[in-house]
Amino acid sequence: MRNILDLEKEELHTYLRSLGQPDYRVGQLWSGLYGSYFNRWDQFTTLPSNLRHHLEEDFSIQPFCEVTAIQTPDGFTKKMLFQLPDGNPLESVLMYSGERISICISSQSGCSVGCKFCATGKLGWKHDLSSGEILAQVLYFVRELNEDQQKITNIVIMGMGEPFLNYEQLKKAILTMNDHDGLNIGSRRITVSTIGIPEQILRFGQDFSQVNLAISLHASNNQQRDELVPINKKYPIEKILEAVRQYIAVTNRRVTFEYILIKDLNDGPEDAIRLGNLLHGLLCHVNLIPLNPTEHFHRFPPAPEAVRSFRNILIDHHVPVTIRSSKGTQIRAGCGQLAGKLS
């Protein structure tokens, strides 16, 4: 059965016209899905019963089932495990930080990129999510927060998977998130995180000049990055940075570089100096993320003083930088910890 969330407005028009329905039904259906967040066909009371019957026969609204949830003791982070119709896992995370309510959603079940420190990469690629499966993660949390009269403030697409390897479905989902008649989530409240695929960086800049771009760099030279991020052999650092320069020229938007700090591997002063030289003069910001533990990668984060020293060297190179603490690491909800299971 098809999922209704996979359909764009024009596709809904085509379907409803095939049933002899007037065009204004599209607005009613769209509003019910993305304005009222309905997840059952009997909630669409503005639609005639015969149309609801057709919709129920032809489409599902929920493209996955909830398996279980786990929450940090402070209640600030919640991780959801869902199961897709093909049986594969999907994880999403809700995070509270001050006045920000962020969700981290996935673009794939599993991931083919295989970053050495990442539990999702260890899981491997299972399934490209459809646009509806991406949107359904947002709607799940929207409904939950709506019960407490709360709203999502930020969406980060940096859960399971490499978004730019599922670009067409990602694009459809973001357009629906942005839609003023639907979820109406502003572009600057959405961030897409990629390992760095040059041609897709350029395409993304053309398609979404206001959506935030984050690139997982994690190394300051190709030899180091080849070890940590095998896809670097195909997309080395210099090609990524050239694409970033072109992206900035088109969008005039700052790019975020994510850098996982791993003790005795990429955290030394020489690494920081190389990174500072690479990024000096670029319209960018660096997020330093001390390594989060996973079962298969037997290394450790640097000591806090080493992290601060790395930051200070970047500051000396006039590179804006923040030390970021991943939320929910104790429930394996932090960067690199999503593996399709809760424990």
Helix, strand, or coil (residue 91): strand
Which is catalytic among the residues 104, 115, 118, 335?
335
DSSP string, 5-68: GG--HHHHHHHHHHTT--THHHHHHHHHHHTS---SGGG-TTS-HHHHHHHHHHEES--SEEEE
CB 22 within 8 Å of CB 12 = no
Strand pairing of 212-216 and 190-194? parallel
Q: Which residues pair with 90 in a beta bridge?
A: 82
Nearest one of 50, 28, 144, 60 to 96, comparing CA atoms: 144
Question: Tokens 């790019």 label which residue?
Answer: 255
Question: Tokens 């694009």 label which residue?
Answer: 171
Handedness of CA 137, 143, 144, 145 (dihedral sign): positive
* Distance (Å) of CA 25 to CA 16, 61, 180: 8, 17, 17
* Distance (Å) of CA 66 to CA 70, 144, 149: 12, 13, 22
Question: Tokens 């935030």 label which residue?
Answer: 212
Which is catalytic among the residues 91, 133, 162, 258?
91
Indicate if 65 belongs to the active site. no
Indicate if 111 belongs to the active site. no
**Any idea which residues carry the catalytic annotation?**
91, 335
